[in-house]
Amino acid sequence: MDLILNRNLTKFPIRASVYLLTKGKRRISLFQVDFEACQALKDTAPNKFLAVFKKELLRTSNIPNQCPFIENVVYRARNYTVNEDAFPAILPDTAWQFQLNLNMKDFSTGFIRISGRVRSTG
C-alpha cells in the first residue's frame, strides 16, 4: 500500500468497520467506529481490535506515530500480516474483513480493505 498526500494533514477522520464473512460470503457487521487518526496514532487505538491493526501498520510502514502527515511523502506499508495469536483465543474459526474509509464525508478520498481468517488451534 502506498499513500501520497497533496497537502499536509493534521486531522485525519476515519471510519473503521469490521465484518465477519459467512460461508456464502455475506458480510455481517461486527462494529463500526469513527475516530480521528492523528489522535489514535498518538494515544491508544479506539478499541482492542483496532489496536492489533495499528500495531502491525506502524511496524510494517513508514507511517508516523504522530501527525502531521506531510505532503508529497510516499507513506508505504509492506508485508502487512496479522497473526492469529494477536486475537483472543475464544474467537471462533472465522473469516473477517477490516475496512478503513479515509475522510468520512467523502468516501472517495481513500479506502483500504484487509481480509483475513482466524483459525482455531484447538
Question: Which tens digits make up the pLDDT trace of 70-104?
Answer: 999 999 989 887 776 766 665 567 788 888 888 75
Q: Is the pTM of this model over 0.85?
A: no
Q: Within a domain: residue 80?
A: yes
Q: Within a domain: residue 6?
A: no
Is residue 45 within 8 A of residue 57, CB to CB? The reply is no
- Per the structure block, which three cell numbers stand in for 83? 497473526
Query: What is the SS3 assignment for 93?
Result: coil
The tally of domains found in the chain comes to 1
Percent of the chain clearing pLDDT 90 (strictly above): 15
Q: Within a domain: residue 73?
A: yes
The pLDDT of residue 68 is: 93
